[in-house]
Structure 1
Amino acid sequence: MKLHTTTWGAGDRLALLIHGIMADHRTWRRVAPALAERGYRVTTVDLRGHGASGRGDSYTPDDFADDLVETLPSGADVAIGHSLGALTLSLATARLAPRRAVYVDPVWFLPDGPDGYRPEALTSAKRLTKEQIRAINPRWSDEDIADELATLALWDERSAHGLESFTGRELAPAAPVVPSLVPLADPSVLVPAERAALLRQRGFEVRTVPGAGHTIHRDDFDGFMTALEGWI
């Protein structure tokens, strides 16, 4: 599927940004212009079932990855994916061949069992009010909250069910395909300390943004950009 894209800047270097589940390109509201100011041409996508992109008949990680390859150019200077976008990017990295990859708090392991991944925990977000979003994300700006309401309204909640068959499976790459950074929340629910240590053993550089929640770039924009130093 060809995805909807949005571009900032006209620099000589190319950056690709891939959002997480329930979001769209608007999650990068501050990051994309900041990269453009650093001399990048920044291209963001709306994944299938999100934003202005088409709805899908299925929503597996491989579907998402194939869409990236069909839509985005290869050989970017840096590609950054958040959460589901990080998983999607990791499945497409060999084909997209960016010079560097950044996997932000990636969905590389979803626990199963009674306390494991439940799509309903995500689909219930469709009913959140502005006040509830603010309570869950007290560090977000008014603009972020407005964007969240707008993106939730457009999100195809069936995409939450596409991950069910991957619960209990290790999806992290055995080794980085290209030089790779993993910025983590503090604490990271998705990548706890023992998994972070494993990623370091596999050759990933892992950095933590103190005090930031899962959506690091919205919780602490300055901390997120600092975590990218040396990679952008």
Structure 2
Amino acid sequence: MRLHTHTWGEGDRLALLVHGMMADHRTWRRVGPALADRGYRVIAVDLRGHGASGRGEYTPALYADDLVETLPTGAELALGHSLGALSLSLAVGRLKPRRAVFSDPAWYLAGPAEGMAPEALARFKAAPKEQIRAMNPRWDEADVDIERETLAVWDETTALGLAPLLGSDLMPAAPVVPSLVQLADPSFLIDGERAALLGARGFEVRSVPGAGHTIHRDDFDGFMASLEGWL
């Protein structure tokens, strides 16, 4: 599936951005321009079932195939968040960026007994603005508004597509290209043991102190500082 994309900048270097579940390219409203200011042409996708992209079946393999069909190969930088990081990790060998950043990647999804219920995620589509603000007290008001807008155009059945993955360990055995794993503090997806294992497998692992899951919205300055040496 060819995905809807949004572009910032006209630089000589290319950066690719892949959002997480429930979001779309608008989640990168500050990151895209910041990278453009650093000389990048930035392309952000809307994953299938999100934003202005098409609907269909929802599996990590299909998300990855869509990225390969839509995005150019050989980018300077590819960055994915959460579900987008999982999708990027399955596509990175074909996209062949020079560097990859996986921001709080969805490489381990806890089972229902540990609080991960796809049906509850799907119901979040109807979350009122006050609930979003209360859950994300560090977000700018603009990001709270964008979250409501992206939820309105999100196909919530994408959440149900996570059910077969619950309890599965989806961490890559090794980085395909030089790769940074950027973690929330604490991360509910990658705990300390898994972070250490990723380091042993050859990933660089950094945490952004005090940041929640959507690091680039929760602490934009910390997010950008964590990318030092990778931009």
Consecutive aligned runs of 4 or more in structure 1 exceeding 6 Å deviation: none
Q: Structure 1: how far apart are the matches of 2:18 and 2:184?
A: 17
Across the aligned residues of Structure 1 and Structure 2, the Cα RMSD in angstroms comes to 0.8
| SS of equivalent residue, structure 1 residue 114 | helix
Q: Structure 2: how far apart are the matches of 1:121 and 1:138?
A: 21
Shift of the alpha carbon at 1:163? 1.5
What is residue 39 of structure 1 aligned with on the other side? 39
What is residue 201 of structure 1 aligned with on the other side? 200
The answer as to whether partners of 1:182 and 1:204 remain within 8 angstroms in 2 is yes
Q: Structure 1: how far apart are the matches of 2:178 and 2:211?
A: 24
Q: Structure 2: how far apart are the matches of 1:169 and 1:216?
A: 24
Shift of the alpha carbon at 1:113? 4.8
Q: Structure 1: how far apart are the matches of 2:112 and 2:59?
A: 20
Please say if 1:23 is aligned against 2:23: yes
Q: Structure 1: how far apart are the matches of 2:190 and 2:39?
A: 31
| SS of equivalent residue, structure 2 residue 113 | coil
| SS of equivalent residue, structure 1 residue 190 | coil
Please say if 1:9 is aligned against 2:21: no
Residues 53-132 of structure 1 mapped to structure 2, 5 A cutoff: 53-56=53-56, 58-132=57-131
Closer, same or farther: CA 6–167 of 1 in aligned 2, 3 Å:
same
| SS of equivalent residue, structure 1 residue 206 | strand
The answer as to whether partners of 1:117 and 1:164 remain within 8 angstroms in 2 is no
Shift of the alpha carbon at 1:115? 2.2
Shift of the alpha carbon at 1:116? 4.8
Q: Structure 1: how far apart are the matches of 2:116 and 2:175?
A: 26
What is residue 211 of structure 2 aligned with on the other side? 212
Shift of the alpha carbon at 1:127? 1.4
What is residue 158 of structure 2 aligned with on the other side? 159
TM-score normalized by structure 1? Answer: 0.98
Shift of the alpha carbon at 1:118? 1.1
TM-score normalized by structure 2? Answer: 0.98
The answer for unaligned runs of 5 or more in structure 1 is none
The answer as to whether partners of 2:76 and 2:97 remain within 8 angstroms in 1 is yes
What is residue 144 of structure 1 aligned with on the other side? 143
- The percentage of aligned residue pairs carrying the same residue is 70
Q: Structure 2: how far apart are the matches of 1:12 and 1:99?
A: 14
Q: Structure 2: how far apart are the matches of 1:116 and 1:127?
A: 19
Offset from partner CA, 1:84-142 (integer Å, 9 cap, x none): 00000000000000000000000001122522531122112111111111100011111
133-142 or 114-123, which moves further after superposition?
114-123
How many positions carry a matched residue from both structures? 231
